[in-house]
Chain A
Amino acid sequence: MISISDLLVDNQIPSNYFSSKSYVQGDLELGLLENRRGDRLLALPSTLIEGMYAGLKQETGQAAGMVLFNCGCWWGKNFYARFCEELTEYYKVAVADMPMIEFLQNLKQCWITHGWGRIELDQGLCDRGFVVVKTWNSPFIQFAEGATTPSCYLESGVLTSFFSNLTGRELGCVQTACESMGMDHNQFVIGLSKRVEPIQEMVQQGLSHDDIMARL
């Protein structure tokens, strides 16, 4: 027999942890934006991102993309650790024991609440060893409009690192569609590093996401 009192542990029912109304807090008079457990948040000015992109391009030329990708990897590694820490603390369950749907919903809400746009996972190619990630409204590609190749270097890095840590395998991530090239959204294909290498070549050849998917 189900007991409602037993379902209310400490009279609390964990729900949407990253809900923006609950998650973003702070002491605005002291100039502090914080998340719900007191970690500091920052509103990153777009002019700063623009400056970083311009500075990187000036200093490193074509290597700027690789630098940003590596920055994204470091971001992803730390983001994954903190993300798991927050989920474990709030839901009182290890991430490994959390239902995948709840993990993914938290990731989606986390992405939205931090203002990184919207993120969706398409697991239709899981049986072939790939996950396709779609993002909308990336804050990092607005300075790359009119690009001829996908330009979400930071997101590619963060997704590479995040999913590598999640699966415990060394994964690669290749962007196959980009808002900076006039697409409605960005698409990334994630899989074992060796398996995504050919995708990178197809992107360089100018193949569309759908054409690439058809060839996998």
Chain B
Amino acid sequence: MHPTIESLFDAAERRYLEQNELDVLTEYVESLPDRVDAYRCLRDREVAIMQSVADQLEIQFSTESQETLERCLRNALLMMRHAAMSMLQNDSELLDQQLTVWLTETNAVYNTRAIDTALYSLLNQQLEATLTPTQLKLIHPYISAAEQAMNAQSEPITVTA
């Protein structure tokens, strides 16, 4: 849950909520039907969206191994699922804490920045073609944050077994 809203519920032992605090809660509650709608759409069209991305990615990186492309796509699927859940809860920290750091470090080791950049570009195109403007507006900040984290990958690290 969004940290600000979560902190509102923690305030019960001390006092009743102020009007501006209730306004924050009301705004979230009113946005919930749209969030659920966007979440449902992403869930139901997950495979179609990502299959289209996968097909184009294979064409763009025809010399890259299937294993590497599959790893990047699997990570993107994970990111989408976490982004959708974060959007539903209006909680960007959820995505960060659970996944972004994790994926950024993994991708840095495998040195897949070029593939990830192309993948996220294709993903954004697919989302624009699939979602309504309202749905897109809700999910975009989370995808964008993940994309920025991927682009900010540190230099490749060598890991020896």
Q: List chain A positions with a Cβ less than 8 A from chain B.
A: 1-5, 7-8, 13, 15-16, 19-22, 100-102, 104-105, 109, 123, 126
Question: A101-B109, A102-B106 given as contacts; is B77 within 8 A of A8 (CB)?
Answer: yes
Given contacts A5-B47, A16-B102, A101-B109, 19 further A-B contacts (CB under 8 A): A2-B55, A2-B66, A2-B70, A3-B51, A4-B46, A4-B51, A4-B54, A4-B77, A7-B73, A20-B97, A21-B97, A21-B98, A100-B159, A100-B160, A100-B161, A101-B106, A101-B110, A101-B159, A102-B106
Which residues does chain B contribute within 8 Å of A21, judged by CB atoms?
A: 94, 97-98
Instruction: Return the contact of A104 from the options B47, B58, B66, B159 (Cβ within 8 A).
Output: B159
Contact B102 A109, beta carbon cutoff 8 Å: yes
Which residues does chain A contribute within 8 Å of B158, judged by CB atoms?
A: 123
Contact B105 A105, beta carbon cutoff 8 Å: yes
Of all chain A residues, the one with the shortest Cβ separation from B48 is A4
Find the residue from B58, B99, B102 having the highest chain A CB count within 10 A.
B102
Flag whether B50 is at the interface (Cβ < 8 A): yes
Within the complex, the shortest CB–CB distance from A109 to chain B, in Å, comes to 7
Flag whether B42 is at the interface (Cβ < 8 A): no
Which residues 115-161 in B have Cβ within 8 Å of A in the complex?
A: 158-161
4 closest residue pairs by CB, A with B: A19-B98, A101-B109, A16-B102, A4-B51
Which residues does chain A contribute within 8 Å of B98, judged by CB atoms?
A: 15-16, 19, 21-22
Which residues does chain B contribute within 8 Å of A102, judged by CB atoms?
A: 106
Within the complex, the shortest CB–CB distance from A178 to chain B, in Å, comes to 26
Instruction: Return the contact of B160 from the options A5, A20, A105, A126 (Cβ within 8 A).
Output: A126
Flag whether B74 is at the interface (Cβ < 8 A): yes
Instruction: Report 12 cross-chain contacts, Cβ distance below 8 Å, ordered by A residue.
Output: A1-B55, A4-B46, A7-B77, A15-B82, A15-B98, A16-B99, A19-B98, A21-B94, A100-B159, A100-B161, A101-B106, A105-B106
Which residues does chain B contribute within 8 Å of A104, judged by CB atoms?
A: 159
Which residues does chain A contribute within 8 Å of B73, judged by CB atoms?
A: 2, 4, 7
Question: A100-B160, A100-B161, A126-B160 given as contacts; is B105 within 8 A of A2 (CB)?
Answer: no
Which residues does chain B contribute within 8 Å of A7, judged by CB atoms?
A: 70, 73-74, 77
CA distance A176 to B33 in the complex (A): 57
Contact B160 A13, beta carbon cutoff 8 Å: no
Within the complex, the shortest CB–CB distance from B113 to chain A, in Å, comes to 15
CA distance A109 to B106 in the complex (A): 13
CA distance A3 to B99 in the complex (A): 23
CA distance A101 to B77 in the complex (A): 19
CA distance A7 to B104 in the complex (A): 20
Within the complex, the shortest CB–CB distance from B137 to chain A, in Å, comes to 25
Which residues does chain B contribute within 8 Å of A100, judged by CB atoms?
A: 159-161
Contact A4 B106, beta carbon cutoff 8 Å: no
Of all chain A residues, the one with the shortest Cβ separation from B105 is A105
Flag whether B24 is at the interface (Cβ < 8 A): no
Flag whether B17 is at the interface (Cβ < 8 A): no
Within the complex, the shortest CB–CB distance from B45 to chain A, in Å, comes to 11
Which residues does chain B contribute within 8 Å of A109, judged by CB atoms?
A: 102
Of all chain A residues, the one with the shortest Cβ separation from B160 is A126
Which residues does chain A contribute within 8 Å of B102, judged by CB atoms?
A: 15-16, 19, 105, 109
Of all chain A residues, the one with the shortest Cβ separation from B79 is A15
Of all chain B residues, the one with the shortest Cβ separation from A106 is B102
